[in-house]
Amino acid sequence: MIVLYTMEREYPYGTLRSTNASKTKVVLEEKGIDYRVETVRPGDVWKKVPEVLAKHPLGKVPYIDDGELTLYDSTVINEYLNDAYPQPPLLPADPALRGRARALENYADEGILSRHLPPIWMPWWSPEDKRDTEAMEKGREGLRVQTFPFVEEQLEGREYLCDEFTLADVPFMAIAMVLQVDGMDVDAFPRVKAYLERLRGRPSYRSIDPTTSLADSAGSAAQ
């Protein structure tokens, strides 16, 4: 059974989860792979304790154990899962569309998950009086000005970024999770708004839904 190492914590306003590890969780769920979640203490990740560094040389989550194999980085793990557990396929067969899926996945990772999302998401893990509300608003502004106009364009005539649900849509599940807690208004981007709702409607979203408790999202082993 695969073990997914991640950071997840319950707050009165919902269960907060690592965005990158949520990408991996979604793929495990979409493929119906047996897995269990091992929660790493956020302090151990920030302090880069030897146990974490032994699994991930940059001291981050997610990483997985699949038998003898340990792998880190959500994109690398998801590509591995798609190769090792081919059904259902999460990359298009057509090489050009496959390239588009990987390019958009990379855009979401570099342009959103590593850039505009952390200033919005990290403060939710802290007490309200310690939150940098200016940085949060700057993150939202980044999404409004740089990200969503581009994504709105990419979604023209499409339900998902490459027509069918693929690895390109997976980071957007984590974005849907963050914005569910944050409540940011995305009305100015009707395709993005409908797309985020569509993603929240997929059965795999349950495992990262902020309304799902830790106990109910500990992996297939816990069910």
Ligand X SMILES: N[C@@H](CCC(=O)N[C@@H](CS)C(=O)NCC(=O)O)C(=O)O
Binding site for ligand X (CB under 6 A): 18-20, 45-46, 59-62, 73-75
Q: Distance of alpha carbon 10 from its chain centroid, rounded?
A: 17
Instruction: Considering the complex, state which of residue 20 and residue 204 has its C-beta at the smaller distance from ligand X.
Output: 20
- Which residues, in sequence order, are CB contacts of 222 under 8 Å at separation 6+? 36, 37, 215, 216
At its nearest, how many Å lie between ligand X and the CB of residue 61? 5
Instruction: Considering the complex, state which of residue 62 and residue 219 has its C-beta at the smaller distance from ligand X.
Output: 62
Instruction: Considering the complex, state which of residue 75 and residue 147 has its C-beta at the smaller distance from ligand X.
Output: 75
**Residue 1 · residue 183 · CB < 8 Å:** no
Provide DSSP, the chain: -EEEEE-EEEETTEEEE-HHHHHHHHHHHHTT--EEEEEPPHHHHHTT-HHHHTT-TT--S-EEEETTEEEESHHHHHHHHHHHS-SS--S-SSHHHHHHHHHHHHHIIIIIIIIIHHHHHGGGGS-GGG--HHHHHHHHHHIIIIIHHHHHHHTTT-SSTBSB--TTTHHHHHHHHHHHHH----TT-HHHHHHHHHHHTSGGGGGT-TTS-SGGGS-GGG-
Instruction: Considering the complex, state which of residue 20 and residue 166 has its C-beta at the smaller distance from ligand X.
Output: 20
At its nearest, how many Å lie between ligand X and the CB of residue 56? 8
At its nearest, how many Å lie between ligand X and the CB of residue 72? 7
Instruction: Considering the complex, state which of residue 64 and residue 189 has its C-beta at the smaller distance from ligand X.
Output: 64
Question: What residue number has its CB nearest to ligand X?
Answer: 60
Instruction: Considering the complex, state which of residue 19 and residue 204 has its C-beta at the smaller distance from ligand X.
Output: 19
At its nearest, how many Å lie between ligand X and the CB of residue 211? 20
At its nearest, how many Å lie between ligand X and the CB of residue 45? 5
At its nearest, how many Å lie between ligand X and the CB of residue 71? 10
